[in-house]
C-alpha cells in the first residue's frame, strides 16, 4: 500500500509479480488502489486494476472449466466456492 500511495509503480509491479494481494485493506478499509487514487498516482491505479482484472479472469476461467475437468482430475468433487478461494490465494 505504501508503494502505491507514493507512486512507485515499478515497485508495485514487482510485488504483484511475486504474488502481492491486491485485495488487502488497511484499518480504514482502503486497499492499495484507493491509496494510489487518493494520491493521484493514476499509472499505479491502472497497474493495480489490470492485475485485479487478470486475476479475476483466471478465476473465472478455472471456474468455467471446473465441471469439464473430468473423472480422475485432482479437483473432481471439489466444491466450486472452495476452488474459487484456492485460485484467488494462488
Q: Within 13 Å of residue 78, how many CA atoms lie on the same side as its CB?
A: 22
Domain boundaries, the chain: 2-89
CA dist 3 and 15 (Å) reads 9
Residue 18's alpha-carbon distances to 15, 34, 62, in angstroms, are: 5, 21, 21
CA dist 56 and 39 (Å) reads 25
Residuewise pLDDT in 10s, the chain (90 residues)? 999 999 999 999 999 989 888 889 999 999 999 999 999 999 999 999 988 888 777 766 666 655 554 444 455 555 666 666 666 655
Q: Which CATH number fits domain 2-89: 3.40.50, 1.10.10, 3.20.20, 1.25.40?
A: 1.25.40
- Determine if the pTM surpasses 0.75: no
CA dist 70 and 14 (Å) reads 36
Amino acid at each position: 500500500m505504501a508503494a502505491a500511495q507514493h507512486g512507485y509503480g515499478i515497485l508495485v509491479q514487482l510485488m504483484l509479480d511475486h504474488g502481492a494481494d491486491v485485495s488487502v485493506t488497511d484499518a480504514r478499509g482502503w486497499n492499495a488502489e484507493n491509496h494510489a487514487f487518493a494520491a493521484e498516482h493514476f499509472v499505479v491505479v491502472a497497474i493495480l486494476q489490470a492485475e485485479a482484472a487478470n486475476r479475476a479472469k483466471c478465476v473465472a476461467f478455472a471456474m468455467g472449466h471446473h465441471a469439464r475437468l473430468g473423472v480422475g482430475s485432482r479437483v473432481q468433487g471439489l466444491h466450486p466456492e472452495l476452488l474459487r478461494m484456492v485460485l484467488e490465494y494462488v
